[in-house]
Amino acid sequence: MNIDARTVENAIKRALAEDLGGGRDITTAAAIPPGAAMKAVMRARREGILCGGEIAAAAFRAVDPSLKITAHIRDGGKIAPGQDILSIEGPAASILTAERTALNFATHLSGISTMTGKYVEAVAGTKASIMCTRKTLPGLRIFQKYAVRCGGGRNHRFGLYDAVLIKDNHIAAAGGVGTAIEKALSFTEKKVKIEVEVDTMDQLKEALQHDIDVVLLDNMPADMLRLAVKMAKGKCLTEASGGITLRNVRAAAQTGVDMISIGALTHSAPALDIGLDTIL
């Protein structure tokens, strides 16, 4: 997992604090005898691509470092219904207190990696890469972008600081495509990637007159995308975005675009059904 341990630790601390409210798990305290031991397994109930298994394990350890945890599959691996992901053994109270936090990370992130995998599979054989966007849950972006990578996708810029993306509102406020690009080129001195969003062929022609790295072709139908790709060939990379679904993503990829960015990967992926079962 290429998320640093401190970031994972801090996210788990926040999640546990939210769940415990500065107190304790009163259900477990009331119902579970002191010293009771438990064996449990985190198990897939639907097929998909795992992400967050290591984070789930860290959540259990954050509650009780004495828990014995065994991982059966790594993040990015395919999982089938009934497949064991983690085995956990130790104090029952600790396992039950950590259960929901661990599952929340695993089900949400595995949902993203699973959806990403479906898009990646849909464009197989083309040169198009499936990309995420900044349409992420506040505070969880690094985890959601990691999940996209586990599903075989690629990350777009991480934030507002690491690349220029001139969008429609920037163009309107700056006074036009060319003006916005010229200002960006002067400001950055080409030390970061510059990408420009266009939604008409006239805007594309204007953008291609400048030294940009990527042109984002927004909400263009396949025939228009194909023409835009031809115009941009040899000048910059092309990215399709807007209105992309599993039904039309292959048609978009077959136009020859280099990248396809999909906000739904992070803002609309359904959680993958993963549960925790007690081993009797």
- Over the stretch 188-199, which tens digit does the pLDDT of each residue have? 998 999 999 999
Structure tokens, 168:
């429609």
Q: Which of 39, 45, 46, 100 is the catalytic position?
A: 100
Distance of CA 83 to the CA centre of its chain: 23
Q: Are 191 and 137 found together in one domain? A: yes
Considering the domain architecture, whether residues 176 and 151 belong to the same structural domain is answered as yes
43 noted as active-site residue: no
Q: List the catalytic residue out of 54, 218, 239, 258.
A: 218
The residue from 99, 197, 206, 239 that is catalytic is: 197
* Residue 108 shares a structural domain with residue 76: yes
Which residue among 45, 134, 135, 235 is the active-site one?
Answer: 135
In the predicted model, what is the mean pLDDT of the chain? Answer: 97
Answer whether 65's CB lies under 8 Å from 77's CB.
no
Q: Are residues 114 and 28 in the same domain?
A: yes
142 plus 101 within the same structural domain: no
> Which CATH number goes with the domain that contains 104?
3.90.1170.20
What is the per-residue pLDDT for 169? 97
Q: For the chain, what is the domain count?
A: 2
Domain match, 251 and 126 both? yes
Range of the domain at 41: 5-119+269-278
Catalytic residue among 45, 118, 167, 235: 167
Residue 197 designated active-site: yes
Q: Report the pLDDT value the prediction gives residue 187, as an integer from 0 to 100.
A: 95
- Which CATH number characterizes residue 186's domain? 3.20.20.70
Determine whether 230 is an active site residue: no
**pLDDT confidence of residue 274:** 98
Rounded to whole angstroms, the Cα distance separating 145 from 10 reads 17
pLDDT digits (tens, 9 = 90+) for 49-85: 999 999 999 999 999 999 999 999 999 999 999 999 9
Q: How many CB atoms lie within 10 A of CB 200?
A: 13
The whole-number pLDDT of residue 190 equals 85
What's this model's pTM, rounded to 2 decimal places? 0.96
Please indicate, yes or no, whether residues 107 and 154 belong to a single structural domain of this protein. Answer: no
Catalytic status, residue 100: yes
The reported pLDDT for the residue numbered 232 is 98
pLDDT tens, residue order, the chain (280 aa): 789 999 999 999 999 999 999 899 999 999 999 999 999 999 999 999 999 999 999 999 999 999 999 999 999 999 999 999 999 999 999 999 999 999 999 999 999 999 999 999 999 999 999 999 999 999 999 999 999 999 999 999 999 999 999 999 999 999 999 999 999 999 999 899 999 999 999 999 999 999 999 999 999 999 999 999 999 999 999 999 999 999 999 999 999 999 999 999 999 999 999 999 999 7
Q: Are residues 110 and 143 in the same domain?
A: no
User: Which residues, 6 or more positions from 44, have their beta carbon under 8 angstroms from its beta carbon?
Assistant: 50, 79, 80, 81, 82, 83, 85, 272, 273, 274
The reply to whether 218 belongs to the active site is yes
Residues 77 and 207 in one domain: no
H or E element in which residue 105 lies: helix 92-122
Tokens found for residue 205:
């022609």
85 and 129, same domain (yes or no):
no
Tell whether 214 and 149 lie within a shared domain: yes
